[in-house]
Each structure stands twice: as C-alpha cells, then as structure tokens.
Structure 1
Amino acid sequence: MSELDASGAEHIGPTTPPAAPQPLTGSAREIPKATLVQLRLPAPPAGQALIKSAYVRRLRLRPDEAHTVRDHLRHTGEASDELIELLAEFARPSQPALLPPPSAFVDVPVAALKAFGDALIELRRQRAVRLSADHGTATAGAASPDPRGPAEQDVRDAVVAVRGLMANTQATPLGMLNLERLEMVPAGLERGELIATVPLAPLEETAVSHKEWSVRSKEFTSIVTDALETVSETGVTDNTELSQSTTSQAQHSNQFNVTPTVTGGIPVINGSAQSGFSSQDSRSQSATDSTKHATSLTRKASARATQEHKVTISTTTVTGSEETSTRVLKNPSQVSVMRVDYFSLMRKWRVRLYRHGLRLTYDLVIPEPGAGLRRTHKELADLKGQLGPFLFGLPHSEITDAVLPGETQPHHRVLAERYGAVVPDPPLVPSAPQFSVSAPSQEEGWHIFTPDPLEIPEGYRVKTLNLWFATTSKTGSENKFSFKVLGTPLYIKEQDQGEYGPMELTSGAYGRYMLHATGKVSLSFEMINNRNTTIRVVSEIEPIPTQPDPDPDKPAHSDRVRDTWRSDVWNLLRDAAQTQYYERQQDIATRAAALQEQIEQVDTLTLRREESEEVMKGVLRFLLGPDFAFMPPEVVDAFLRARVDLEHGIGFDENGLGLDATAWATVREHEDVVRFVNQAIEWENVVTFLYSYFWDVPQSWNFVRRLRHPDANRQAFLRSGSARVVLTVRKGWEEDWVRFAEGGFKSPPATPNSQYLTIAREIAAYDDRNYPGIPPANPARTAVRLEEAVYATSKDVLGKSANPVTIRVDSSKDFLVGAQVVIDSADRTDPADGRVVQESQLITAIPDAFRVTVARLERAHDGSVTPFTVLQPGTKGALIAEWNEYTPSSGTDIEIGSDLGSGA
C-alpha cells in the first residue's frame, strides 16, 4: 500500500497480491482449426470414374485419332477394342448429354488409359513436326496461315491430361478432416518479468515517469469475421489479445509458405500423415500433431504480442525543487537504503484444443485456379505496356504528293487526315527568268553593255542559259561589228549583220558559263560598230539538290525545295501525332489507375469469396469435363434473339426468351450434378493447397511471376499454377459421394471399391458416435457456453446384452442420465468378425459414484488388459490438449526489494 507523508511524497510499502481470479469463461475467444489426415491406401483396381472421364474429355480427341492410336497399340495389347470404341465416342461431334456417362469407365484400367494417352502424345507430336515441315515448304514463296499453333496445343492438352490422370489416380483421394477449435479464456493475472529497479539512498527523493506504448504490425491482412451472409466486420481488439495475435500468426504461416500455400474456410489448418483409418481420440497421432501445431502457434503468437507491447520506467533525481509533475518516491529512513522493483503484469490465458467433428475429404488437382482472376491483371499489364515515350516512325520519304494505289487524294493529305494535322501542298515550280533588251548603238570604238540581272528564285539554280542576238554594223564596208560575251569564249568578230542563236552559254563549248548560278545572274556584253542590236537571254532553272553530285552532267539526287516542304510537313505531322499520343497516354494512364484501384481496393472477405468461387468453378469443370459451360452458347443466342440486357445480366425477368425444349435441355443438362455437388460438399470448409507458377505452362511464367497484389493470399492465388483441392463431404453424404466420385452416375449404383465405401461408413459412424449434437463446423458466436466432455475408464469384461448393463468406472462424476456415451475406441476390433467394437448407448441410471447403467450393449468389451473408455461427449467436443499462455497487460506491480531496518 502507499501513503503520503507531510511533504506530499508518496511512500511505498509492502502489498499483498490479490487472489488469482477464476477463468472468465464468458470472455472466451474461439478460433476454428482443422487437422487434415491423408489416408494411404493401395490404388483400387476399379472405380475413379470421374477422374477417368474427366481425363478423356480433356484429351479433346479428333475423329481420326482413336483408331489410329489403336493401330499403334495393336501389337502391345494395352488397349482393347472395347476401350477404343468407347473413346471414339468422345471424338464424334455430338451433344455433351449424348456422350457416355462417367460410369462407363468404372472397370477401365488406369494403365490402359495412360498407354492410350502416351501413344496419342507421340502421334500428335509427329503430326506437329510434319505440319511444321509442310508449312516451311509451302510458305517459301507465299504467306499462308500457320497450322503449327493448333497442333502444338493438341500436344499440350494430351500431356496435361496424362499428367493429371497420374496425379489424381496414384494418390488415395480419400482423407479425413478433423474439425477442431482453439478456445482461449482469460485466467487471471500473474507477475511477469522485472521492468525496472529504483534504488533509494536514505532520505532520497526520486521522480518516476511511467510510459507504456503498443506497436501494432500491419504486416498481415486485416482479420475479417463473417458475422452474417452479407455483413463483414474487422475485429477491433487490444493489441495484446492472444486470439488476435494467433490469427495473425496463422495468416503469417499460410502466406509465407513457399509451396504450398494453404487457404480455406478454416483459418488454421495443419496436416497429419496417417497410414489408414484409426482412432481419433486424444491419444491418436493426428491429435498429437494437432496439439504440437496449436501449441507452437499460440507460443509464437504470445511472443508476438509481447513484442508489440512495451513498458519503460525512467527516473529523475530531484534536489532542492518543490514543484514536480511526476510521482515522487522518498526513502523515509535516515540510515537504510530502499529498492523499489517494478514488474509487468501478464495476462494468463487458459488455452484448450477441442475436437468436435470428423469429415470425409476427397482430393482433386485442378490446373490454374486463378486463371479467371488474371484477366484483370492482363488488362492492366496491357494498359501499362502502352505507356512509354513518344516515337514517330513516319519516314520523310513517305511524304509525297503522289496519289498512291488505293487512295483517292495525294498521299500527304491522307497522312494529314490520319494524324489530324493541316499541311501545305508542295510549292509550285516558278517560271524561268529571262530578258530581251535592245543594246545601245556604238558608232565609234568598243563599249560594254550590262543589262539588268536575271533573278533566280530562292532554292533554284541555273540549269541552262540560251542567248539570241541580232545586230547590224555601221554603214560602210570597213565598219564590221564584233560581239563578245564577257567571261566566255563566245566572240563573233567583224561581221556585217545577222541573227545568231540559240547559243547555250552553260555548255562545255562556252566554258559552262553561269552553270548552277543562283541569286542575281549578271551578263555583260562587249560590242563595236553595232546598231539596231537586240539581245535575248532565256534561262532554264532547276531546284538546288540537297546532295549535289560532283558530275554536273548527272541529275540532282534530291530536291532541296521539296525536301524543305517534306520537312515542314513532317514536323506538322509529328506535332499533331505527339498531341494525339499524349492525349491517349493520359487516357490510358487514367484507365490503368482506375483498374489498379479496382484491383487493390477490395475488402478481404470479398477476395476470399472470389477465390472460393474460382475454386468451385474449377472443381465443377473437373467433375463435368472441359466441355461444361456455365452458360451454353445456345442459351446466349436465345437471349440475344430476345433482345435482353446481357451487359447487366437481366435475362430471366420475363418469360419471353423463346427457348425450345432442346435449348432448355441444354440448360438443365448438368442440373442434377451441380445440385448434388453443392449439397454434398461443405464449401465453407474446402481446403486448397496452392502450388506456385512453375506448375503452369512455361510460356506464362514471365507474366505470372510478376503479378503483385497488396493481399498476400490473393497474390499467392493469382500466381498458382496448380491447386490441390480437398473437398469436405457434408455429414450424411459420405457413401453417396464415394459412389458418385468412384462409380459415376449409374443405375443400379456401382460399387467401385468396397474399401473406400467401408472407410466412408467408418468416418460417418465415428462422427456420429463421438460428436453427437455438435454444432456445425463454423458455429456462430453466442453468449451461451458449451459443456465439456466427461471421460472415464472401465476394467470390466462385458458381453453383448439386449437388457440394461451396469458398467463399473473409475468415476461417474458429471455423467448425466439420458445422455449418450461412447463406449470403447475406434481402433479396437472384435477378433471374431473384425468389426469395430466402439458403440454409442444411452445412460439410463447412475447407481453410485463408480457405476453407470446403459440401455444395452451391442458389442462385447474387454477391459481386463487395457481399460476401455466411456466418453460422454460435450457440445464443445472432445478436449485433446490444454495449456497456458501469457500476454502482457497494461498493469504493473510494485514491490519493495529491501528491508528498511537492515540497512541492506
């Protein structure tokens, strides 16, 4: 206890810890659990009709293949004519309802089916090689469709089918699922580890600051409790709750297994290998394995809760200060030291593991369980693949004003419409410059005449210059005229009169005068004794080439003017294409972001339901064959003819679809099978083992391995290449399911394997004997607590009796008159007939503390060597293990660690 002295300081004295409270059963937390036991039995010589039928359907036989394979196997004798004719029925185009039923394969040996499949693989491989060679020869000169793709797909179908047949027939499909429950009840508080020690010297005062915090890891998927069919809520509890930590730890274990990843309606699943059906009491191997698994799970969860809860004690020595904001501890002794110890208070949990039911299981292996859910991710990958830098691949040479074949306008206008641009037409060729002038007369002596220059258009140059002139000389025979073009060898000397031309000044004869000249081209003429002179110069121009040839007699390689026009048009087209591209990129990015949000912003419960639905679809396809259609094409065509709203799924609101008897027969073709499967299987307890992408087609590895999702379970589901699905058979449907799965629909019902039927009966009988009145596998949470089982042993030797029998037991405490008791265990058999001696009877009386009376005994029981059990099951189930766990709480305990009077 603590008290305050005159100074207001708090004194800590010895305290008496309160008595430990009783377990708070009203605050119990429950976590469903299951232990899967795989039975190991020799492969049956007959049966497995569904597996064999699904295998043949998956082969997708062609009309000519069955008999070709028969010819190949004729010398080996591995396939009979009856089998070949049966398989040929699946190669003929027909309605699925007219195909042989699965029961036709009850007596077909698995080895014969495998031999047929191996021969079919070899036949299809040879066909693919032959088609590849023929296609290479045929396409040497012309293009044709490649037939190799369908042929290689046929090979793949056969390989996958044979592998699936061996995987599904070699292992025993039957197993057991023990339905269990972890119950965690707060059982009081206990002192935990030492947090801190505060030593106090005589008369010393110390201020103590107490801090506490919790760190919650968000590493795992939020825990979701399905309270109602359409309501989900996230559990909100203290960070140190053992049940919360256990569930998170279970998710951690499931999510981070490399292969396989386990999912199912039950959060915590573990496996136990077993050679055959045996006792399922608390001493069985499966119970031991389950206990070890559950103990390890809760121990890790307790350590996890401890790591998330931290408490620190900090101390501050105060001297000469009267104002404090923290608790002040003072040692009142003047001669003795004192030690104050702080301990954490740990919450004690009583953990019990109950087994409350047993179910028959049936194993299947289905390929690509997440294939349907990958479509959205493929769409997202396609959108992201369209995002990237802008690339404009239009070459300059494609820009032309010619009208190409198949077009009705110049090609540059076609390109403009394609990219949404406005482009100019190519420039017109300008007219060639020329002049015709009259030169001034020269009566005496020489003179030079230079007319206005020729203006050569920009981008062009002189190709030819042709000169004409006419003149007369002065009067008198001694006055001859002369005419010279400066810069050229042209010189007409001492002529009377005449007309001359054309003379090509740019030719080699005149020194290629002004050839390829640009800009202003001036010509000067020197004349003597001329009058009435007329000079005419006509030019021919050409575009300036981009790359001039050194040989002037060769034509230009390209047109600089048109190249400039092409460049201008190309720039306009590029700018328009870039604008369009960025607009599309923005739209694609928006769609990709919306699709990414659609993928990620989904609650956990919806993700699990979607995965369960995909598993159910895969199972139905396995049972009913790859031809099974959830919505046959004939029905879709009928909907289209009726003009119903298919996009929003509005089709059955009216009876106006116009379906005839054949179409309705197609709709109802698998109705009985679908109904049976949904009734016989507890889909809420189906367990799925996911195997990684490398069990899938290698071509898809690169895409599948890169799939990412914020929910680790969904990511594992998307990346799975194969899945082992453990179907949990509903109570009461055990024998019906074995007859269906092993013998197919057959009238009268087939008896495919008596051993399988016997195991189904034993599992059903054991569940009836040991767990009467047990709630369903996933019971709703209620405030009513369930009773415990009562267990006793007897050493009596009892025989069969139709009358009441009194059994001496070690204790009859808690047994109730009118309750059912289970006598003996399931692993003990009667030597006379080999039947299990365990039975269930009604208590009619309890004579004393060591005897119970039952209505009768149907079997003999001998407890002289090994005492037999008498079990009164409780609605909680059979208790198979009990232990304690500890998690930190928010409280602390304080203890004085030294005697004030001893001076220690």
Structure 2
Amino acid sequence: TAGDTAGDTAGDTPEDTPEDSPVEDDISSNKKGRFHSLGVGELLVVKQKLIAYEEGEIAHIENVMKGEKRSRNHRTLHRTEEFTSFELEKEEETKRDLETTTRFELQKEIDSEVQESTKKEAGLTVTGKYGPTVEFTANAGIATEKSSSKSKNLSTSYSKEVVDRSVHRIQEKIKEKRTLLTIDEVEVINEHSFGNLESVAEHTNGIYRWVNKKYEAQLFDYGTREIFEVVIPEPAAFLRYLATNHPKEGTSIPKPQKPGYMRLYPILGTNEFEEVFIPLSPGLLTKETYLKWVEKYNIQDVLPPPSSFIVTSIAFAIDPVDTGVEDEGDGSLTPNWRTVNMKNTELVVPPGYVAKIGTLSLAIFPLHRFILRGLFGEIAIGTNKHAFHQGGGIGGSETFVLSNETGLVPVAFSLTTKQFFSGTLEVQCRRTEEHMEAWQISTFNAIMNRYEVLKEEYEESISGEELFGSVDIQGKNPLENKSIILNELKRQVITQMTRQTFDEFDAMREGVLPEGFPQQDVDEAWSEGQYVRFVEQAFEWENMQYLFYPYFWGKKKDWPVNSRLEDTDPLFKSFLQAGSCRINIPVRPGFEIPINIFLSTGEFPWDSGEGGIAVENEDGEEERDIFLSIAEELKAQQGAVYFKSDGTVFHANEDLESVLTGDLIEEVNDDGDVVLNDDGEPVLINGTNFLEDDINREINIGGKIYMIIAVNEEQQKITLDENISIQESVQYGIGAKAIGVPWVVTVPTSLVMLHDGNKLPEIPEAP
C-alpha cells in the first residue's frame, strides 16, 4: 500500500534565518507515520438527522401514600482550622587560646688589657773645680714602655614560639510544629419533600422515564476518493486529562496538578510497560526539575540548589626587609636567609560544605637584582601539614588534599627565604549530602504548601459556584460535542500519519523585548503556515468517518474509570469511554499525488519560498497549484458540499409546489455572441442541467436541504420530497446522492423526565 510506512524524526528545529538568506523550513521534514491506504473507491458517508425525542423505559417510581409526608435534608459543612508554632533555639560558643613564649639571650664579653711601662732615668753629675782650672760634668736620661690588648665577643640568641588555638561552635535547633485545622465554614442545606396530606388525598405516585433520541440515518455517495485508514488508541485521552486538570465550568481557577511524575515500569512476566504515578518527594527535586514546579505554581522566594563545589580563599604578603648581603669571597653578593612565621585564622568553610583540596600560590620577587634563591617551608591548615619548596625566584603553586574541615579553619605556615613574597591560599569545598537534602526538603515544603493553597482556592471556587448556582445543566450541547470529537480525532490522525506531535509550532514568541508582548516570528510563521494549509486542505476532514470501539481496547489499569464515564450526549459518552477508534479519511480530489509523496517520504511537496504545490498540466509544463480558496475551504468546513448549481429554478405551476423547473436562457458561443437559429431568433436553452442520475440527490434551496425524487430531463423539471414555496427564481446546489433507504436509529440518553399521569405506560405489542 501507499502508506504502511514508518520514518525517523528529523533533528532539531533550525534557528531563525536572516532576511537576506533563503527561507528554511522550521518544521522538521522526513517524518513518516504509520497508516493504511484503502485505495480509490466510492466515498460513502452516513448522515444522521434528529427527528424526535421519545419516552423510554421507566427509570424510577416514587410512591407517596395517603396522609404521608416525606422530606430529605442534605447538609454540607466544610470546616478547617490552622495553627502554626515556630521555635528556634540557637547556641553559639567561641573559644580562643593564644599562647606566646619569647626567649632572648644576649651574651657579651669584653676583655681589655692595657700594659703600660714607663721607665725614667735621670741623673745629674756635676764636677767642678774652682781655680785656674774649672771642670764641670752633666748627665741626664729618661725611658718609657707601653703595651695594650683588647678583645670583644658578642652573641645573640632569639626564639619565639606561638600557639594559637581557636574553636568556634554553633549549635542551632529549629523546632516547628504545625497543626492544620482550617476554619472555612460553608453550609449548604437542600430540602426535598413529598406531601400527600389533603383530606381528599389518595395514594399517588410519580413515574420517571428515560428519554431517548430518534435519528434518521441515510447513506450518501460523494463520488470516488482515495481513502486512508488509521486506528488510534484512546481518542479521548487528552480530554480525560483536561477533565482532571482544567478549571471546572463556572470557575476561572484551574485545578492544580498534583505534584508528581508518570513513570513506565515493566509488567512482570511480560514485555509490556505500564504507567505509574509517582508522587513528588524531596529526593526527586534536582537542579533540572525544581524549576518546573516553581513555574507551574508561581512560587516565590525559592532558593536555587546549592552549588556542588565552591572556593574560599585568603591572601597574604610580607613587606620586603633588607637584611644585608654576604660576601661570598668571589665578588658575589647573596641576601641573608631569613625565617618567616605567619598565621591566619580567617579562612572560613561555608556551612554545608567541607574542605577537600587546598592550593597555595606564591609570588616571589628578589630583594636584590639578579639574586634569585627561592624559598622553602611548611604550611599547616587544620590538621594537615604540607611541605613546599619554590626555587628559581619565580613563584608557583602547591596543591594538597584536606580532611573535610568545616567552619573556621586555622592556617599557619613557616618558611625560609632570601626574598620577599605574597601569596594566596584557595580551598575547594564540596557540598555535603545533608546540605543538599536540607535544600530538597525546604523546596519540597514550599511546593506542597503552594499546591495546598491553590487546591483550597479551587475547591472554594467550586463550592461557591455550587452554592449560588441555579439549574444544574449537565454536559454540553451535542453540536459542540461533535466539533470537539472531530478536532480530537483530526489531531490524532495527523500524528499517526505524519509523526507530527506539534512541538515545533511555536511561531508566536512570548516575552519579546522591549515590552514583553507576544510577537510572531515572521519566517517561522511562514514555514508553519505552509504545513498547516496543506494538511488542512489535502483531506476532506468534513467527510471523515469514525467508529468507536469499547473501553477494553485501552489501558487495563484505566478500565474502572473509563468504563463508568458518563455524559448526557450518547455520542460523546462513547467517545469518552472508547479504548480505540477506527477512522477513514478521504483525500480531496486533486491532492492525491502530493499527499502520497508527503506521507510516503516525509518530504514537503510545497515550495517553502513561494508557497503552493508544483504540478504538471496536460502539456507537461509545471504549474503552481495555489491550494483551495478560503471561500471553498469555509464551505467545506461548514458542510456546504455541492457538485453543481447551474442556472436557477422556480415553480413549474401553482398547483404542484414540489415540482420545480429550470429557467431558459440565450445560448452564447465562445466569442460571447448570442447564437441565432435559421429564423434569426435567439436559441434558448435551459440554464439547468438536471439528469436522471440526480434522483435521490440532496438539493439545497434557500438554505434548506431537500431530496430530488424525480427528474424530467427534457423539460428540466424536478420533483422534491416535500413541498416548497418560492416566489421567484432562486439558485440551488446539488450534493451527494442517497444510497438505499433511510433507517431510524434510537439512541438512549441519561436524561430523565416525569411521566404525564400516574398510570403505567402502555407497551405496544410486538409486530
């Protein structure tokens, strides 16, 4: 067959195209569904028209004895009270010990020795002679000796020991007690009574009878069509879903969806799966899922989930202190080594996290140009110690593993260096399971609290409508129900035949800047419009035929619910309960080739840039079919399907109102000139073209449908199935041809009426 194929879904929808580039299809192509082609045959359509309501069988008999009075009172009370208590106990303890020991020793020894020796020697010898001879002798002498010795010895010893211990403990107890007893009192009292207390009263009764509908059904032939067939599951599944989630009639407040998910679980002993509703629980909330419920319930002040990892850090620096240089003996200079001890107790691991990895990064700069010697030392963070060495004077990073420290973590390190430096200490912290669970519980409570509020608002609105409502009319107008059925079947047929799930139809954007108004995407709207127009026009949806199958062809777990669904409209009830549905869809004449290409290959038969379908005419030249006119499409949707309407009709005579004749008009040739006979008089022809084949066809005159029961081709006279009164020539339209004879269909309803009189109805004898 032409159908009976399957295809794969294409990729993601392309992005919007620039105005100067060719228009691309935003609707994925190459989607092929599953269907069956019945080939080309007569399109036979069963039409029904309502002809009467009739009393059916007895539904109930209410007996009231003489002198008896019976009454029924119905009272409804909804009462709720809510009490909430919240208790917070917080205990915080901070303990800090600081111990410093300083030792300073100075040894100084000075030896000084001065030796000084002075030797002085002086003498005077005088010898004198007086007389003619004088003799005088003098002698003097001095000697001095001095020696000095001095030595100095200086040594300094300095030691400092610092022990800093800090303990910070926070103990917080939160106790919340909530008692829910909502006081929202609504009292509804209904009273229904029967009284038979009059003095002349007799035993009496009321007889209630079911109401049946009577339809006249007729089979009509619409000519040859190509027909496709599909069988779809549970045609009312979406409406049943709406029935439990949409606002109830009479209220604008939607019924909130119960938080939870549908999951597929294997059925033991089979290869099948069943859907099971899983209520929402804290463990199901993740970064990806919680926003769905926040958006659905419009929840305020919900925190995002805590990050899996965060980083906390500190920075430090040592100011440069020149301690001088040493002469290496070869003319080079080297800075003196110095020891640095640092501590920092300000590294805080955020609550709900534990320290996992530390990274120490140092930036080194020499005190003296071209003198690069690096540093080495040890860092202590919490209970962990890590030795490090940075050489070459360019700095670097050291990474080490920590031991799940929490809260305020003490940090200290010692190092020896000949240069000054600065650095950072970064600690990567991982989220604890308890922290994530606390967020899940908090978010879950916010979701459930909001759900309960919305549920209560919905129930209050329903109660208010029921309280102040008047006549309780069940169900919808059957004509409205029929339209709903056709739309639902149409949607599922399109999905079955094309795998189109309509997820890509989003040309109307929401929240468009600057005002945030809805605004269409022009290129995508064009692409989607081609798809919509083709699918809507390629099939005669107005002539779609369907048959509902019982509930047991649907999911077994839904049998208890689906088999008991009720509605006052019998057709709609069958639709709601159906477990499956067989559907025949005729192809509109002229669309046979493109629709087969579309369904069999998934390729679009239309031009995405110009619109329309490229077809070949009788000469083999390509022409562009512009689809149906909007007038023809409107007529088809409204059931105005007629094959010919040449000329006008009027009464043949005053006595036979059901007999009409066609009018006579002048014959015109191809040039538009009136054709004359041999006598030079215009040739008159009938504007109508009634044929014997038109017998039993529908004819629309003045908006009312009649049936042609006789045709006189020579006189162009037709006889209708009932009288008609028209004052002048009117237009008409001939439609489908009735096949066989009509039959009456009696359809039971759930409506009940009070029988006129208190006697049992007479049952006619069976023929």
TM-score normalised according to structure 1 size: 0.25
Higher relative CO (Cα under 8 Å, sequence separation at least 6) belongs to 1
Structure of greater Rg? 2
Which structure features the higher share of strand residues? 2
